[in-house]
Structure 1
Amino acid sequence: MHDTAKYLVHADITADGVVERSDVVGAVFGQTEGLLGDELDLRELQDSAKVGRIDVEIDSENGQSFGQVTIATSLDQVETAILGAALETIDRVGPCRSTIEVRRIEDVRAARRREVVERAKTLLTDAFDDSMRSSRDLVEEVREAVRVEDITEYEGLPAGPNVADSDAIVVVEGRADVLTLLRYGVKNAVAVEGTDVPDAIAALTGDRTVTAFLDGDRGGELILKELAQVGSV
């Protein structure tokens, strides 16, 4: 019934004595019978699937009972409110005096609508994120992918595709530096991959214009110092 219900009536129950679920259900049927006429008779409403089962959670402590009653309905707002008011007329459960107070009437459809709205927000943010990118973003992404694919090797060292043929080279420290320069269109960079300058790079510096693009730390200083000794910078 909860799957097709429009409303859930939530009520709190207290009793001056120890009662069980069956006592509460019996009191609900027994003390509302004939109260609202045939059209809103609880048994008739259940038989026609307009009201679901009566869910009762009841506990006892120190000779007192307390708990919650939940009833699902597919009635309209007015009829559901009348049913809730009828529950509050129950003053005995079994042999014990009792009180039932409707805490709230939950609109199940409104709760589902809120769930739909929240889920729609998530889908709009996540699922359509890529489709909202501009044409410029797409062009730049493709260009970057092409530049990254351009990375090659020169004598086993990470290098741009123009190192072998260019009359100028850029000496960098590692593969990541070569990739960074490729993203900006610089295709004549070669990496030393360590603090020792390889013979292949030393040979390249002999007849080419050389730019050393190194970090300003201790490692970069050592590379530059050795490059000046073994090559022509």
Structure 2
Amino acid sequence: MSHSISTTKYIIHGKIEVEGIVEKPDVVGAIFGQTEGLLGEELDLRDLQKTGRIGRIQVTVESEGGKSHGKILIPSSLNRVETSILASALETVDRVGPCTAHVVLEQIEDVREVKRRQIITRAASILKHWEEDVIPETQEITHEVLQSIKVGEIQKWGPENLPAGPEIENSDKIIIVEGRADILNLLRCGIGNTIAVEGTNIPKSIVELSKKKECTVFLDGDRGGDLILKELLQVAKIKYVLRAPAGKEVEDLTRKEIIRILKNKTPVAKVLKEPAKKRDKNKKQKKQKKYQQAPSSKPKKGKKEITDIPAPLAKGITQLKETLQANIYDLDAKLTETISVRELTDKLAGYKKDILAIVFDGVITQRLVDIASEKNVKYLIGARKSSLTKIPQDLKIVTFDQISHSS
């Protein structure tokens, strides 16, 4: 609704009831007439209107059944005290012409409060639009910047072309991780002195590197991380060990989690004591596997002959040569699945069915031996084998050339 003064602070809302038929000018005249001289010259309605301190008095009147009723609005730029006095004076009007009247104050509307609510609503709308369309999140900016440089920073290192961070050569301290994705995540946190083992067999270049630099391993908090740690501790010189929380992978950790883990790195001497305690505890829950030391030199020809391999397994060797595939056999020596050698370690770690044998066109590593033993596999047959530090007594480890000698 429009009002006659632009500096309106308050609007007085009144309700009028008249015992008779009256019109708008009658009501306005009664208000001016009955309040004249009532409040002194400073609050005289006509003077206030002339000086612009109140606006035009607005009245609406309707007549029905010989009576009239309506609304009265008075815009005011007076202060709260003066406006309150004016509102109470309005209620003193008791006649309109010859008719009895009754005026009641309904409310004093604070125009500035209405404007404040409008400002808040509009400001919220502006801010929402600004945040969505104008100002990208800090995290988004950081992500975009790092995304644009991180791939270029990863390099290939050593004869095995292992993924490594840009500071691998210059830093005298390095962090060994499992794979390329771990290096990418650490790069997002500004950590570039990293290198990945990339697979189940620890590369010789990492073994040599560990002799020259202070090495920390940072591995996933799962069984795979446990097995890689075992291998590293056997062949490389490690000073500290870092692990992701149980069930989590390094590539999925947030910056805060990574920084917290780096601050709480564990000396390798402490880690070496822990497995013994865990094994003692597991004896009560599960029969422990018996291990024998692997021979330090190549076996004699007489010991290479393998004569008790089930025929289906021996037959599978011919089919698998030069394929980089792996066959999994059930307890009846029936072929149940053929998969890529690259998938074998992860697949086997999560396998639920009973397995008699695994025949594959690849290298038998210590990690694969440990998993196969854990799954109660009886035969592990590969194209060749790496240096094994321990061999379970109830697992037959055979290479392709041993089968050919015995057949």
TM-score class, shorter-chain normalisation, is: 0.5 to 0.7
Structure 1 residue aligned with 2:141: 135
Structure 2 residue aligned with 1:123: 126
Structure 1: runs of 5+ lacking an equivalent: 143-233
Offset at residue 110 of structure 1 (A): 1.1
Offset at residue 64 of structure 1 (A): 1.1
CA distance in 2, matches of 1:22, 1:137: 71
CA distance in 1, matches of 2:98, 2:49: 26
Q: What is the percentage of aligned positions where both structures have the same residue?
A: 48
After superposition, the C-alpha distances for 1:112-137 in whole angstroms (9 at most, x for unaligned) are: 01100110011111233131332156
Query: Would the alpha carbon gap of residues 116 and 138 (structure 1) be closer, same or farther in structure 2, given more than 3 Å must change?
Result: farther
Structure 2 residue aligned with 1:189: none
CA distance in 2, matches of 1:60, 1:44: 31
Offset at residue 95 of structure 1 (A): 1.3
Rg: which structure is higher?
A: 2
Structure 2 residue corresponding to 1:59, chosen from 59, 62, 72: 62
Offset at residue 68 of structure 1 (A): 0.4
Say if 2:15 and 2:105, in contact at 8 Å, map to a contact too: yes
How many residues are treated as equivalent by the alignment? 142
Cα-Cα RMSD: 1.9
Structure 2 residue corresponding to 1:5, chosen from 8, 28, 31: 8
SS at match of 2:33: helix
Question: Comparing 37-46 with 118-127, which one deviates more in the overlay?
Answer: 118-127
Say if 2:5 and 2:54, in contact at 8 Å, map to a contact too: no
Query: Would the alpha carbon gap of residues 72 and 137 (structure 1) be closer, same or farther in structure 2, given more than 3 Å must change?
Result: farther
CA distance in 2, matches of 1:140, 1:67: 70
Q: Name the structure, 1 or 2, with higher relative contact order (CA <8 Å, separation 6+).
A: 1
CA distance in 2, matches of 1:55, 1:141: 66
SS at match of 1:89: coil
SS at match of 2:124: helix
Say if 2:5 and 2:52, in contact at 8 Å, map to a contact too: no
Query: Would the alpha carbon gap of residues 60 and 136 (structure 1) be closer, same or farther in structure 2, given more than 3 Å must change?
Result: same
Displaced runs of 4 or more, over 3 A:
136-142
- Name the aligned partner's letter for residue 141 of structure 2: S
After superposition, the C-alpha distances for 1:55-86 in whole angstroms (9 at most, x for unaligned) are: 00111111111110000011000000000000
SS at match of 2:71: strand
Query: Would the alpha carbon gap of residues 21 and 137 (structure 1) be closer, same or farther in structure 2, given more than 3 Å must change?
Result: farther
Query: Would the alpha carbon gap of residues 43 and 137 (structure 1) be closer, same or farther in structure 2, given more than 3 Å must change?
Result: farther
Structure 2 residue corresponding to 1:37, chosen from 26, 37, 40: 40
Structure 2 residue aligned with 1:113: 116
Structure 2 residue aligned with 1:146: none
- Name the aligned partner's letter for residue 73 of structure 1: S
CA distance in 2, matches of 1:117, 1:138: 33
After superposition, the C-alpha distances for 1:128-185 in whole angstroms (9 at most, x for unaligned) are: 313133215656999xxxxxxxxxxxxxxxxxxxxxxxxxxxxxxxxxxxxxxxxxxx
- The answer to whether the aligner puts 1:103 opposite 2:143 as a matched pair is no
What are the equivalent positions in structure 2 for 1:211-226 lying under 5 Å apart? none
Query: Would the alpha carbon gap of residues 128 and 64 (structure 1) be closer, same or farther in structure 2, given more than 3 Å must change?
Result: same
What are the equivalent positions in structure 2 for 1:83-98 lying under 5 Å apart? 83-98=86-101
Structure 2 residue aligned with 1:77: 80
After superposition, the C-alpha distances for 1:15-43 in whole angstroms (9 at most, x for unaligned) are: 01111000000000000000000000000
SS at match of 2:57: strand
CA distance in 2, matches of 1:129, 1:137: 17
Structure 1 residue aligned with 2:230: none
CA distance in 2, matches of 1:117, 1:109: 12
CA distance in 2, matches of 1:141, 1:93: 80
Report the TM-score, using the length of structure 1 for normalisation: 0.58
What are the equivalent positions in structure 2 for 1:148-227 lying under 5 Å apart? none
